[in-house]
Structure 1
Amino acid sequence: MFDTPVDAWYAWLGVSAAALVVFGVVTSLPTTPPPDAAGAAETVDAVAAAEYDTTAVRALDARAVDVDSQRIGLRNDAGTTHATLGYRVVPVGDDARLARVLRGAPPRTVFAAATAFKRAASAARAGDSAWRPAGDYLVARHCSWGDVDVTLVGTLDARPGGR
């Protein structure tokens, strides 16, 4: 007696609108999880805490990365995550010499002296952080030369050493 007749045009219009809203919500949900900044920070901290020169490589699921001396941020379609590092690191950005060391070259083959290596690391650490396109891998390399003892952090498109 008080039911809406099923042949009423407004009932069909309401059901159609509700179906479109549900379809829109379902298709807008992210299909991947947000990137794991905490896991990346743990990898970097493990390398920074090492007593000896060492390198760690971690696959990234991010489209952009923001590394400064005390923090790492990762971003993909599902969101942005940040993590604080337990150690001060040297973010490798535009410095081609630091990038060569990050990829595995000994610092003494890239820099003329340990003081030049120290200046480059200090300049990179003091620079402004910014979102950059992320490579496929996050690389953390702890290396020392003379009185310089640093952990370089950056991203690469290919795994260092071709492995």
Structure 2
Amino acid sequence: MRTTRIGAAAGLCLVLLLILRLWFLEPVVVTATSMAPTIPPGSIVWINKVSPVGRAGARIGEVVTLRSPDDGALIVKRVVAVEGQNISMQDGVLNVDGIPTREPFVDQKTIDGMYFGEVRVGQNEIFVLGDNREASIDSRHFGPVSTDAVTGRVIGVP
């Protein structure tokens, strides 16, 4: 009788973990260097799949997962601008609506001299960048992305 209860409890735990993984949380191994040093390659991050950006709105500074417009691969990037904002970079400094932003997670020495012209983020779009700007393929390359492309929010990242 006791063995049956332990087996049933173990089975229930397994089912709950499967449900949690399929619909709520998902572990993802980060293989690229585009978010280093914030998320080094080889790190495992947890994705909250319950509140995708498309339904709940994006927040500047949060780290999200999305499908790359280039090849559909899952990528991890930081939201730096949302719908209606203008974004540019001058000498490595990110400007949102003409105001320089403070980005302590970006190594400014490695991106000194980096430029891109002003881009307006459209309706239901976000602009995403990797923290490792010199090694990241992001919205500077493929432009603003639809909030519908976001698959989840990374949990526990500064």
Instruction: Please tell me the TM-score bracket, short chain as reference.
Output: 0.3 to 0.5
| TM-score (normalizing by structure 2) | 0.33
| TM-score (normalizing by structure 1) | 0.32
Query: More strand by proportion, 1 or 2?
Result: 2
